[in-house]
Structure 1
Amino acid sequence: MRLSGSITALATPFTASGEIDLDAWHRLLALQLQGGTQAVVVAGSTGEAAALFDAEYDLLLRSAVEFVAGRIPVLAGTGLSNTAKTIELTRHVAALGADAALVVTPPYVRPTQAGLLAHYRAIADDDALPIVLYNVPGRTGGDLLPETVGALAGHRRIVGIKEAVADPQRMSDLLAFKSDDFAVLSGDDPTACRAILAGADGIISVGSNVLPAAFRRLADLARGGRRGEAEGWDARLRPVYDFLALEPNPIPVKALLAAQGIGHGLRLPLQPLSAIHHEAARQSAALVVELEHLCRDTLAA
């Protein structure tokens, strides 16, 4: 598997009563396919994986696999705080039809680098699915350092990393391990353009939930080395990046999805977007519509 371009970490739409909104889920998947998204992640942190019951997780993944029908890869979030449970879940999602597993560093337990190395090798050695490493220290409390990534990158079942540390030096260090068999992907929307221009293969994005065509355009421009156009387009997306950072993910992006009629909120302990940000949400929703129309018109031309 070779992952690249614009990949969406899907949010999970709920009904007004708090159940999984399967119709909205299908509309979100259709939006991604229409916008040119090149892979999707089900039940990552943006998908509120920790708030999902097992049957809901299975429903989302199974329906995504059926809906996408092989047109793009479907990744499933399987990273847990226990290695054996992560292996078990990765086997389970393989049986449900996932193409790869996105495996975040074990949350809360804060293993050493030696522990992370053993953890990921055990999951990959089990051979259930291709594995994408996922490093997001702000959420997990642990940091998968570049030297550990380098020790893992040669494993035949470890096919890439989603790196959410925004420091350009971190991305530079990771790009040394990029190969035909190991993709380096940005996990940070505001710095993705810079990362891809530096050589990263693409992005696993939050904003592409509502801006799939816009993020596909950004990835294409940056991967094509069209620096001026890529940076200009990135500047047009900057107000959306700023809005998405106003409160913890996925609160802002779900406000924008709700403005499109996709879903009705979050699960506790997450709360809806604070009233103080409602005007910013209105402005961002309008900009999303404008940018997506512009991308689609350009594609049609």
Structure 2
Amino acid sequence: MTSRPNDSAWLTGYIPDLPTPFDEADRIDLKALERLCERQIAAGVSALVVCETAGEAPTLSDAERDMIVRAAVEIVQGRARVIAGTGSNSTNKAIEATQRAEAAGADAVLSVVPCHHGPMQNGIYAHFCAIANSTGLPIILHDVPARTVGELADETLVRLAESKQFVGLKDGAGDIRRPMRLSSLLRSDFRSLSGHDGNAVAYIAEGGDGCISLLANVSPDLCQIIFSSVRQGRLQTARYFQARLALLESCLTKESPAALKYALSLLNLMRPGTRLPIVQLDEDAMDEVAKAIAGIESIGRARL
């Protein structure tokens, strides 16, 4: 595997995993995508993720993925990095998706551990090496054992991070001590970000660099306050705001991306439409999301 230098200073803070907005005819709603991107830029995010978990990636055609990445790049115009989800349980398909994202202008890709197969660690290592050899883009690894069956072992992560093309990790394994445990084994410029909003404060306090987040879609300003508070050692402040977001975090965890889309529809940012097998929320779940949004708005009024 060829090592290519890639600056990773931008990979920090709360980075939103954007949902894919659909219009009434189930087409990509580019106007809504622009609203979502501009709102995040205004909040000062360093990067955006498209076509990943919250983006209902498995339901998107190749042409739709290309359209979304291209549109995000055009909207952002260098004000933040655009990270494209390109993972697959097929190495060849992951390579093809990565190359398409690169051609569409993505700044980096997010690639998940192959799911279902349960490959050996040597297979996972070879999978990511093959992807790296197919592109010049920085690669963010995604470890989420609850969804993929297989895990990205610490030893494999350390091996991969020897190449500077692997710039970071979206860590969905749930072990908040992982950043501290691996701090002496990984490059100083390798970024570790939580993949769970619920443990983000603890993960960052243990040496993590941020969170690839669902909550940041709904409340980017509060998420930036939480991150800066942890970095400044004001853990009580960070935990206070995280606790105020706990109801919404619970809703999003249980029913995402349907709950995320419904929350954003209440903020008049997009329609709540999803694609099968994801369906829209039932009335009880809608009420919970509405209650959570009202609570966040009350925090905003109290800060004025």
Displacement of 1:294 in angstroms is: 5.8
Amino acid at match of 2:258: I
Amino acid at match of 2:60: L
Structure 2 SS opposite 1:110: coil
Mapping 1:122-201, distance limit 5 Å: 122-201=130-209
Q: Is 1:255 matched up with 2:271? A: no
Kept in 1: contact 2:258–2:272 (CA 8 A):
no
Kept in 2: contact 1:100–1:132 (CA 8 A):
yes
Q: Is 1:264 matched up with 2:280? A: no
Q: Which whole-Å deviations, capped at 9, do the CAs of 1:73-96 have from their partners, x for residues lacking one?
A: 110001111112212221221111
User: Hey, what's the Cα distance between the residues in 2 that align with 1:155 and 1:120?
Assistant: 11
Tell me which of 111, 135, 145 is aligned to 1:103.
111
Mapping 1:51-70, distance limit 5 Å: 51-70=59-78
Which runs of 5 or more structure 2 residues have no equivalent in the other structure? 1-6
198-207 or 81-90, larger mean C-alpha shift: 81-90
Percent identity over paired residues: 38
User: Hey, what's the Cα distance between the residues in 1 that align with 2:302 and 2:15?
Assistant: 20
RMSD (Å) for aligned C-alpha atoms: 1.7
Structure 2 SS opposite 1:12: coil
Structure 1 SS opposite 2:23: coil
Displacement of 1:276 in angstroms is: 2.2
Kept in 2: contact 1:174–1:184 (CA 8 A):
no
Q: Is 1:27 matched up with 2:35? A: yes
Q: 1:46 to 1:293 in 2, by over 3 A?
A: farther
Kept in 2: contact 1:202–1:219 (CA 8 A):
yes
Kept in 2: contact 1:125–1:157 (CA 8 A):
no
Structure 2 SS opposite 1:23: helix
User: Hey, what's the Cα distance between the residues in 1 that align with 2:97 and 2:259?
Assistant: 29
User: Hey, what's the Cα distance between the residues in 2 that align with 1:273 and 1:176?
Assistant: 45
Amino acid at match of 2:171: E
Amino acid at match of 2:85: G
Task: Report how many residues are paired.
Answer: 295
Q: Which whole-Å deviations, capped at 9, do the CAs of 1:215-243 have from their partners, x for residues lacking one?
A: 11111111222222222222222122122
Kept in 2: contact 1:75–1:99 (CA 8 A):
yes
Q: 1:5 to 1:75 in 2, by over 3 A?
A: same
Amino acid at match of 1:56: E
Displacement of 1:173 in angstroms is: 3.2
Q: 1:199 to 1:170 in 2, by over 3 A?
A: closer
Displacement of 1:147 in angstroms is: 1.5
Q: Which whole-Å deviations, capped at 9, do the CAs of 1:141-163 have from their partners, x for residues lacking one?
A: 22111121111111120001000
User: Hey, what's the Cα distance between the residues in 2 that align with 1:80 and 1:268?
Assistant: 19
Kept in 2: contact 1:256–1:285 (CA 8 A):
yes
Structure 2 SS opposite 1:17: coil
- The residue that corresponds to 1:278 in the other structure is 286
Q: Which whole-Å deviations, capped at 9, do the CAs of 1:10-32 have from their partners, x for residues lacking one?
A: 11111123221111111111111
Q: Which whole-Å deviations, capped at 9, do the CAs of 1:115-172 have from their partners, x for residues lacking one?
A: 1011112212334211000011222222111121111111120001000122334444
Q: 1:46 to 1:8 in 2, by over 3 A?
A: same
User: Hey, what's the Cα distance between the residues in 2 that align with 1:206 and 1:83?
Assistant: 27
Structure 2 SS opposite 1:168: coil
Displacement of 1:52 in angstroms is: 0.6
Amino acid at match of 1:161: L
Q: Which whole-Å deviations, capped at 9, do the CAs of 1:51-82 have from their partners, x for residues lacking one?
A: 11111111111010000000111100011111
Structure 1 SS opposite 2:211: strand
Displacement of 1:177 in angstroms is: 4.0
User: Hey, what's the Cα distance between the residues in 2 that align with 1:50 and 1:271?
Assistant: 14
Which runs of 5 or more structure 1 residues have no equivalent in the other structure? none
Amino acid at match of 1:19: R
- The residue that corresponds to 1:220 in the other structure is 228
Structure 2 SS opposite 1:246: helix
Kept in 1: contact 2:13–2:210 (CA 8 A):
yes
Kept in 2: contact 1:211–1:292 (CA 8 A):
no
